[in-house]
Structure 1
Amino acid sequence: MTTDALLAVDGLVAGYGAAPVLHAVDLTVAPGTIVAVVGANGAGKTTLLRALSGMLRPSDGRITLAGEDLRGVPVEQLVRRGMAHVPEGRGVVGELTVDENLRLGGLWRRDRADAARALDEVYQLFPPLARRRRHLGHQLSGGERQMLALGRALVGRPRLLLLDEPSLGLAPRVVAQTMALLRRLRDDTGLTVFLVEQNVRSALRIADQGVVMALGRVVTTAPAARLRDDAELRHAYLGF
């Protein structure tokens, strides 16, 4: 396990009921990088995110964030320690306005002035949200809802952003914009991104590191560029 990793996972076992989905998963995520977790449906990618963010209790193994053991830490405390999770489906509250949705991301913060600055920064990052700040969540397009879900996470100023299928259901142009934004956040703010994505080409194009999963296990971890260029591995596990 790398001592300077922001996120480190060692021997993680997790699942639902008596059936494990993850089997002794080991991985590390360096600060200020984008790590793309790829693999076929059923590989355990979403289960891994749920275990990391406290939504699913592992049955074995260890997860540390900046050296702190996260076993038994409540979800709300994980957020305070710098972890944000944007689940598949985006999770926008349709009955609340854009502004109210974004403010939810900073409710726990004691520094109200900085929370207000973070809100302004999100509006600068996503101009369409600024124009629609009084609209309800259910009135937004799919791309705008993705912006809103990302923006709400960013209002909390996370160190580690967990993203589950951010391109799901989006037009190719919006997917490209989303991926470019993640790369910009890494470059400009040092944000660490742990990305689960079915759009393998897009994910590996922006990632620093790739993690390939199959049947609940990590098959290989390598620089994203190497995974893109390894035809044998792509054909075996990624389907292209």
Structure 2
Amino acid sequence: MAPLLEVENLTCGYGPVEVLRNVSLSVERGSVLAVLGANGAGKTTLLRTLSGLIRPTAGRIVFDGADVRGVAVEKLVRRGIAHVPEGRGVVAELTVDENLRLGGLWRRDRADAQAALAEVYELFEPLARRRRSVGHQLSGGERQMLSVGRALVARPSLLLLDEPSLGLAPRVTAQILALLAQRCESTGLTVLLVEQNVRSALSIADHGVVLSVGEVAMSAPAARLKDDDDLRHAYLGF
């Protein structure tokens, strides 16, 4: 079976500043790919390009068998790509329930949208207990769950997740990532995870890609990256 996502020789940036150069990677269906690297390596730029926010200057992005380079953001969402950016973008004035429903507003199958909402409450039980609370009343962990949950209400095939551990206690991060891994196993969801917390990312990932100054420095199974001391010291700094 072909990978859900294939990126070939992707080059992009901001105006004249080139951030990614000839980046190639693939993500198998139902798997978790961890994209690792230092600040400034190009991880967030990669996700923004895959979600349509940045137009690449070269290369191909093949999603579910179709070249989607240059496709508009809203069309990518409808095709099954959901992007959870860094910073937990929760609408502070809306309740948990209202925030989650935003993720399914474009969907025509209202019954299935309601079912997707129920599944998110089952996955993230703290949200179910606080469904009438407004966004600014939530803890950091609850806001991150809400951001991810809102993306899942759209029933994506591919979830692009940027730095979910930012500002969170390690225990909360581990809980969220474990639930996502469970979701991948139970539904076939595919996740491309950008994460500074290398140990947390590799604990749930099937494969890892290391970016260094905008280029792929290493691509290997997560277990190999985690267990090989030389690779860890050379590429991941621990």
Q: Return the TM-score normalized by structure 1.
A: 0.97
The Cα shift of 1:72 comes to 2.0
Tell me which residue corresponds to 1:174: 172
Partner letter of residue 197 of structure 2?
Answer: N
Divergent runs of 4+, >4 A: none
Displacement of 1:139 = 1.0
Q: C-alpha separation between the residues in 2 aligned to 1:12 and 1:114?
A: 35
Counterpart-to-counterpart distance in 2, 1:174 and 1:59: 38
Which letter maps to 1:32?
Answer: G
Q: Distance in 2 between matches of 1:147 and 1:39?
A: 24
Q: 1:32 aligns with which of 30, 33, 47?
A: 30
Give the structure-2-normalised TM-score: 0.98
Note if contact 1:143-1:170 (Cα within 8 Å) is conserved in structure 2: yes
SS at match of 1:152: helix
**1:112: which partner in 2?**
110
Identity of aligned residues (%): 71
The two structures, once aligned, show a CA RMSD in angstroms of 0.9
Give structure 1 stretches of 5+ with no counterpart.
none
Q: Contact 1:40 / 1:237 at 8 angstroms: preserved in 2?
A: no
Determine if contact 1:88/1:165 at 8 Å carries over to the other structure. yes
Given the alignment, which residue of 200, 209, 220 partners 1:222?
A: 220
Partner Cα distance (1:163, 1:71) in 2? 19
Which amino acid in structure 2 is aligned with residue 26 of structure 1?
S
2: distance between equivalents of 1:118 and 1:106? 9
Deviation at 1:138, TM superposition (A): 1.1
Q: Structure 2 CA distance, aligned partners of 1:158 and 1:164?
A: 16
Shift of 1:178: 1.1
1:184 and 2:182 aligned? yes
Name structure 2 gaps, 5 residues minimum: none
In structure 2, the partner of 1:91 is 89
SS in 1 for 2:2: coil
Tell me what 1:54 maps to: 52
Task: Give the deviation of 1:73 after TM superposition.
Answer: 1.0
Q: Give the equivalent residue in structure 1 for 2:15.
A: 17
Deviations 1:184-226 (A, max 9, x none): 0111111101000000011111100010110000111110000
